[in-house]
Amino acid sequence: MNVPGYRDVPPETWDPAAPADPGEAEDFLRQCYTENPRLGPVEPRLAIVRAQIAATGTYVHTTEELAYGAKMAWRNASRCIGRLYWRSLMVLDRRRARTADDIFSLLVHHLRTAGEGTIRPVISVFAPAQPGRPYARVWNEQLIRYAGYRDAEGRPVGDSRLERFTAAMRGFGWRGKGEQFDVLPLAIETPSEGVRLYELPERAIREVTLTHPEFDWFAELGLRWHAVPAISNMRLTIGGVHYPLAPFNGWYMGTEIGARNLADVDRYDMLPRIAARMGLDTSRASTLWKDRALVELNRAVLHSFEQAGVKMSDHHTESERFLKHIANEERAGRKVPADWTWIVPPLSSGVTPVFHRYYDEADLRPNFYLDAEAATLAKEGSRCPHGG
């Protein structure tokens, strides 16, 4: 995916009523202005920020501070392998949007901007949280996710991990088609309007039908996946200011789809079906049928995205690029925080260069965080008043 937040992470706690930390604000501004001399001297800006925090409990980032802070957050994201491209992040300042209709319109624009033509990294930053006040957010963990159901016989249909969230959306009146790849509606919550559901238009959803370079039968599985992995339930923190609604995307690494989304037993669990079509011996694990089926599933994903002209990277290439990123950052005198369990890909790990080294683990800010309540909403929609 080349963005943090794909796999489950331990949720972080924060106090929405707490004022911005002046020390964290100063640390960010000094680093931001040092790395961007064109912004001018930092001391006058620090005086303004200190006064704003003293008077209101928070302060307002300039457009330049917001843009560079978002890029720094990507650079500091220890669970992301794709940080070589952090400078290329397109930052869309959406802090003036207030209504659910406005937010939805801008989220559609985000998906179209990111997904039309070459996939590009984009973040849309909406209004920050104000101390002690409610704030807008999206319940969905990604802007595009597929629903999960059970058929009449109790068999899973669609993304099993999203069954409870799908049930919550149905509690709001959404029905879906009950098919394998029904795109879930966006649940947008604002302080003045509560929760409203919005169906994404087709023009905002770029999808790739999956085929295999050798197996003609693979197309009969009816698999597909969307092109833009836009994380929508992580909080962006810049200099002590929190942005609860700041969806962002990169582009997919093939294993995100082929070794996780479609392969995990609590997701689409496709390996047994692929193994059966391949005629593999599944009677015992030692035949390595899972490994063989997994490789062919990942071949199909990479092949299909390439055939469709949709940008995607493979785990070998991305691993090499991550080491290049580390070298670049070390030349700039910066440490690169990295979580080994996330950086190492879930396929052929031992033959990728990121496997054979240790990394610094540090919580550097600016950064992205998954909040406990956001995690619960994304999985269960537990605040749905209609039985979700």
Residue 241 pLDDT > 70:
yes
263-308 tens-digit pLDDT: 999 999 999 999 999 999 999 999 999 999 999 999 999 999 999 9
CA atoms of 123 and 286, how far apart (whole Å): 44
What count of other Cβ atoms lies within 10 Å of the Cβ of residue 371? Answer: 20
305-328 tens-digit pLDDT: 999 999 999 999 999 999 999 999
Query: What DSSP string runs through 199-261?
Result: PPPGGG--EEE---SS-GGGGGG--EEES--EE-SEEEEETTEEES---EE---BHHIIIIII
Query: Sorting pLDDT into bands at 50, 70 and 90, what band is 11?
Result: low
Cis status of the peptide bond prior to 37, with omega within 30 of 0: no
CA atoms of 172 and 166, how far apart (whole Å): 10
Active site annotation includes 217: no
> Choosing from 83, 137, 170, 321, which is the catalytic residue?
83
55-108 tens-digit pLDDT: 999 999 999 999 999 999 999 999 999 999 999 999 999 999 999 999 999 999
Residue 201 pLDDT > 80:
yes
Would you state the pLDDT for residue 1?
45
Would you state the pLDDT for residue 214?
98
Q: Which of 194, 301, 230 is nearest to 3 (CA)?
A: 230
Would you state the pLDDT for residue 115?
97
Residue 369: both structure tokens together = 């965080």
Residue 120: both structure tokens together = 């590009």
Mean pLDDT in the chain?
A: 94
The domains of the chain, with CATH numbers, are: 22-145+183-339 (3.90.340.10)
> Choosing from 65, 256, 296, 318, which is the catalytic residue?
256
> Choosing from 74, 86, 225, 251, which is the catalytic residue?
251
> Choosing from 65, 80, 225, 342, which is the catalytic residue?
80
- Taking the model in full, what pTM does it have? 0.94
Would you state the pLDDT for residue 375?
76
Residue 67: both structure tokens together = 């843009």
CA atoms of 6 and 12, how far apart (whole Å): 15
Active site annotation includes 256: yes
Query: Sorting pLDDT into bands at 50, 70 and 90, what band is 7?
Result: very low
Active site annotation includes 83: yes
